[in-house]
Structure 1
Amino acid sequence: MPKWAKFIIAFLLLPVCFGALKTLWLVLKASESADTFWAIMLAGAACWVVIFYLLPKPMWVYVFGHELTHAVWTWLFGGRVKKFKANAKGGHVVVTKHNFLIALAPYFFPIYVALLVAIFAIGHLIWNWKPFEMWFHLLIGAAYAFHVTLTWHILKTRQSDITQQGYFFSSVIIFLGNIGVLIVGLPLLTAKVRLLTAMEWWFRSTADVLNRIGNLFS
Structure 2
Amino acid sequence: MWLKVIKFIAGILAIPLMAAVTRAFYGNIVGVVELAGILKYFMWGVGAYIVLHLLFFKPMFIYVLGHEAVHAVTSWVMGGKINSFKVSDKGGSVSTTKTNAVVELSPYFIPIYAIILMAVYFVVAYSYKINGAVFIFLIGFTLTLHLVMTIEVMKIRQPDLMKSGYLFSIVIVYVLNIIIIAMLFSLLFPSFSSKKFFADSYVFSRDIYAVIIRQMFF
Shift of 1:11: 2.2
Distance 1:5 1:75 in 2: 28
After TM superposition, which residue ranges in structure 1, 4 or more long, deviate above 4 angstroms?
none
Aligned to 2:73: 72
Q: For structure 2, which runs of at least 5 residues remain unmatched after alignment?
A: none
Distance 1:158 1:199 in 2: 30
Aligned to 1:55: 56
Q: Report the TM-score when normalising by structure 2.
A: 0.90
Aligned to 1:144: 143
Aligned to 1:165: 164
Q: Percent identity?
A: 30
Shift of 1:112: 0.5
Q: Does 1:178 align with 2:177?
A: yes
Aligned to 1:212: 211
Of residues 85-94 and 10-19 in structure 1, the stretch that sits farther from structure 2 once superposed is 10-19
Q: Deviations over 1:4-63 (max 9, x none)?
A: 111122222223222212211212222266222321111111111111122122211111
Shift of 1:154: 2.2
| SS of alignment partner, residue 93 of structure 2 | strand
Q: Is the 8 A contact 2:29 2:192 kept in 1?
A: no
| SS of alignment partner, residue 30 of structure 2 | helix
- Tell me the matched-pair count: 216
Aligned to 1:153: 152
Aligned to 1:124: 125
Distance 2:34 2:58 in 1: 34
Q: Deviations over 1:57-96 (max 9, x none)?
A: 2211111011011112223323222211111111100112
Aligned to 2:35: 34
Residue 74 of structure 1 aligns with an amino acid whose one-letter code is S
Q: For structure 1, which runs of at least 5 residues remain unmatched after alignment?
A: none
Q: Report the TM-score when normalising by structure 1.
A: 0.90
Distance 1:25 1:192 in 2: 14
Distance 1:101 1:66 in 2: 13
CA RMSD of aligned residues (A): 1.8
Distance 2:115 2:182 in 1: 15
Distance 2:9 2:200 in 1: 25
Q: Is the 8 A contact 1:13 1:172 kept in 2?
A: yes
Aligned to 2:101: 100
Q: Deviations over 1:106-156 (max 9, x none)?
A: 22211111111111122123x144x32221111111111111222222233
Q: Does 1:85 align with 2:97?
A: no
Distance 2:124 2:47 in 1: 26
Distance 1:24 1:113 in 2: 18
Of residues 181-190 and 82-91 in structure 1, the stretch that sits farther from structure 2 once superposed is 181-190
Residue 144 of structure 1 aligns with an amino acid whose one-letter code is L
